[in-house]
Structure 1
């Protein structure tokens, strides 16, 4: 069915309404689940009695008991006052501001490069995030266009077919994280092995995608790409914090997040330069994923079965 101008405008108007409606429903679902306030937040607000109450309720829900009582906090307050350090010297707001500013201290960043091995690990993780941060949007940001172009070549380029394939592809990502949660703890796989295989498979299926000439092949390869891409991202988000020392783990996550956003900005520039009517952006994306797979093999730490430090 052809998409007339009036219908197209109507569809574009419905899109934000749909997203807005889903967001509203999800936000309202928050009131259906009763959750306790975090003890850390309550402690920062000097609400010691509520801290004890929350801990007791959580313990009771899990069929346990806790040794923590309000007297413990009162005893600590008395010790602080006796030593000349009042527990009320710093307000909660002041403590929050101090913690926010602590992140900007050079010592935090230096800790990520403190030893040659840690520096090597941090550098490789930044490189991984940069490559994947560029490769991912090079393909995913323009999926409808690629699917439409493939449809033109194979004789089926309708809007319905394009977005049907897009929806099927989106469903295929769901099992990826579930399977990945098992492979990362397998003896001969671990984090590094899972990352290597997932990245190389993503690149391989992207290469095959460029050669697809039938609708079945286009759909099959795009689903495989979606599956392994989601596995790569799920692994990166869980593996990256494990490679940073615990006291500066947030700094490490923030550093790689900076580089992934910066590298992601290059994707539309590359796509605009080489053109979306060719397979060049997909070839570049595939090559980056394959190289990232080999970088995974070079990481010095395999955290499978090890406690955080």
Structure 2
């Protein structure tokens, strides 16, 4: 709201702040598309322009020719899905006469979808299918499914605990003192929120550590589950608050590692689609989490926390099955 705040302090309207950040984003700190992606999708002029603008931002005067862009993308290893698509295309072209000589009835089932749906919708579905197919082909299938599982289950587990943390505090501390100390619970929640700040910094450091991102992620998730169980078993208010801060710190560390690991595990050709689906799965389970936690809280408070801890343990086991990425295996742009 744009009116006066508490004590008559004027507040800047939210729309003005949003517009200010948008102008800053568009102006001084513009972000270029990945030149490798542009070259892989035959946008060679845009790829050359992106390289030159990135070089200029880094204080270099570098001029790139189209041949340099073509050579850089042709020398790089391409995913197996592209080779298979090329073979399929060649086989399709070589067998055109055979397809035309087949009875008309045999072509009807394959064309049923495009015949029923509007052409624009059919083209969109076909394009989505073609772009999604490499996600489920070796060697992409395993890391894609494991990473999607992590995004979905981590969001479900963390939201189940984070969304109801003030209620958990009120019930545990209120039960211990015999009265509902709402203000004290809010102060305790402030410590919970502040403890997440170092988690991002720790996660950033672990991303580049020799431990490897997958192992660092698994350890952070396992510590999160342990901290939740300590929170559940604690009786004194100080231990309840400290264990809750441990959950916030470890979970934020895990999320920082996951955010840094996710783009790195996918090759350039599928990175955008795979990351988008992972983020969407996290949003969906984040919506389901309060509903599930609300049902469990109707039974006992312990059920919701234990369920969240079990999900974090499953996530830790899933992270250990991921390929371990270190700084030596740098992401290809």
CA gap 1:21/1:161 in 2 versus in 1, 3 angstroms: farther
CA gap 1:215/1:266 in 2 versus in 1, 3 angstroms: same
Instruction: Identify the match of residue 249 of structure 2 among 227, 232, 235.
Output: 227
1:1-309 → structure 2 map (5 Å cutoff): 21=13, 24-25=16-17, 27-28=19-20, 34-35=27-28, 37=30, 62-67=58-63, 104-115=127-138, 117-155=139-177, 157-187=180-210, 189-275=211-297, 278-299=301-322, 301-304=323-326, 305-309=328-332
Q: How many residues align?
A: 258
C-alpha displacement of 1:200: 0.4
CA gap 1:168/1:23 in 2 versus in 1, 3 angstroms: farther
Task: Report the Cα distance in structure 1 between the residues aligned to 2:212 and 2:191, rounded to whole angstroms.
Answer: 29
CA gap 1:191/1:59 in 2 versus in 1, 3 angstroms: closer
- CA RMSD, 1 decimal: 3.7
Task: Report the Cα distance in structure 1 between the residues aligned to 2:15 and 2:251, rounded to whole angstroms.
Answer: 25
Task: Report the Cα distance in structure 1 between the residues aligned to 2:230 and 2:127, rounded to whole angstroms.
Answer: 45
Report Cα offsets for 1:46-88 as digits up to 9, x if no partner: xx9xx98x957x756644323369xx9xxxxxxxxxxxxxxxx
CA gap 1:150/1:122 in 2 versus in 1, 3 angstroms: same
C-alpha displacement of 1:222: 0.6
Match of 1:275, SS?
helix
CA gap 1:298/1:272 in 2 versus in 1, 3 angstroms: same
Task: Report the Cα distance in structure 1 between the residues aligned to 2:222 and 2:245, rounded to whole angstroms.
Answer: 15
Report Cα offsets for 1:171-224 as digits up to 9, x if no partner: 11111121122222222x110111111000000000110111111111100101
TM-score after normalising by structure 1:
0.71
Moved more, 260-269 or 231-240: 260-269
TM-score after normalising by structure 2:
0.66
Contact 1:150 1:157 in 2 (8 A): no
C-alpha displacement of 1:263: 2.4
Task: Report the Cα distance in structure 2 between the residues aligned to 1:261 and 1:225, rounded to whole angstroms.
Answer: 21
Moved more, 134-143 or 258-267: 258-267
Report Cα offsets for 1:66-119 as digits up to 9, x if no partner: 3369xx9xxxxxxxxxxxxxxxxxxxxxxxx9xxx699521221111121x421
CA gap 1:255/1:60 in 2 versus in 1, 3 angstroms: closer
Task: Report the Cα distance in structure 2 between the residues aligned to 1:19 and 1:280, rounded to whole angstroms.
Answer: 42
Task: Report the Cα distance in structure 2 between the residues aligned to 1:272 and 1:24, rounded to whole angstroms.
Answer: 37
Report Cα offsets for 1:16-47 as digits up to 9, x if no partner: x999856744653565785165566xx9xxxx
Segments of 5+ residues of structure 2 without an aligned counterpart are 39-44, 67-119
Report Cα offsets for 1:224-265 as digits up to 9, x if no partner: 100011111111122111122212201001222232233233
CA gap 1:270/1:62 in 2 versus in 1, 3 angstroms: closer
Segments of 5+ residues of structure 1 without an aligned counterpart are 1-12, 73-96
Contact 1:112 1:244 in 2 (8 A): no
Task: Report the Cα distance in structure 2 between the residues aligned to 1:226 and 1:19, rounded to whole angstroms.
Answer: 30
CA gap 1:19/1:286 in 2 versus in 1, 3 angstroms: farther
Task: Report the Cα distance in structure 2 between the residues aligned to 1:131 and 1:267, rounded to whole angstroms.
Answer: 10
